[in-house]
Amino acid sequence: MAEPLFDTYGRKHDYLRVSLTERCNLRCRYCMPEEGIELSPRKHICTREELLWLIDEFIRLGVKKIRLTGGEPLVRKDAGEIIDALAERPVSLAMTTNAVLIDRHIERLKRAGLTNLNVSLDALDADRFLMMTRRTNFDKVMSNIDLLIREGFNLKINCVVIRGMNEAEIPGFVEWTRNQPISVRFIEFMPFDGNRWQTEKMVSYAEIMDHIREYFSFEKLEDAPNDTTKHYRVPGYRGNFGVISSMTEHFCGSCNRIRLMANGAIKNCLFSDSETDLLTPLRNNEAVEPIIRQAITNKKAKHAGMDNISKQTNRTMTTIGG
């Protein structure tokens, strides 16, 4: 093992989020434009071998947790083979998915020990789901969520709250935790290229809690180190809920995340408008460790050094991987 990855603020980076693909089978309003995006040419996307090589380098540098993201990670044709390979690495595995295709992979995920899943779901109503995702997969997604619960997966449900679209769903999501062992996380709407972000569309952490307070009494739960979520529970409910307040109450001080995109570049912050290419030096047989270390060293204290992240110029969320 090499020396771990520390930035100049003493934050140890041991959590790698790996985007397997820029492609997605939904068109969520907060993630990409309705017409989709211009994808990177195939030759600019990591092959399975290149991706695993880069992941192994990060593991050598102290990464202990890997989360697979996309786009939708399971639309990548060799996603299963990548999962099989990562199951042999000394890391904990997790994945973020929209659950449209998850039923095809249940047994493989269980064999790999990949039982921690974040499922993106922004509505509990079919019509509102269609409005949010521009697709008609609601029944399939809900059926697959039920399947995952029955199969014993540890589920977190990610709900991006956008004013005028789905804030009325907040109480229903909390009520869902009454009888199901799930963790619902409400996420503040964040600005990315193509998602038409506006300040007035963002429902803040404080407002989300006010919505919940109208219907429920709740208690604060202890948050884990490096957690991005403020956790709560309605007493007596099997599950819990929380809020990811990226915009109004940042959690940058404990950030331990690195993002490896499908094109072999890394971002040291979700909001950064810059990225560091690892694929080109890898293909040129150059050392990538110094490049990785420099990228982490350059990480800013919060929000990529911006005072106002609503003014950022960034990729679409689907190409970053969240």
Contact at 8 Å (CB) between 101 and 75?
yes
pLDDT of residue 319: 59
Structural domain contains residue 212: yes
Domain that holds residue 68: 15-316
Query: 112-171 pLDDT, tens per residue?
Result: 999 999 999 999 999 999 999 999 999 999 999 999 999 999 999 999 999 999 999 999
Percentage of the chain with pLDDT > 70? 91
pLDDT of residue 270: 85
Structural domain contains residue 215: yes
Query: 3-40 pLDDT, tens per residue?
Result: 999 999 999 999 999 999 999 999 988 887 777 677 88
Percentage of the chain with pLDDT > 90? 79
What is the tally of structural domains in the chain?
1
Query: 266-322 pLDDT, tens per residue?
Result: 999 888 888 999 999 999 999 999 999 999 999 999 877 666 665 555 555 555 665
Query: 187-242 pLDDT, tens per residue?
Result: 998 876 655 667 778 899 999 999 999 999 999 999 988 899 999 999 999 999 99
Q: Domain holding 209: CATH number?
A: 3.20.20.70
Structural domain contains residue 274: yes
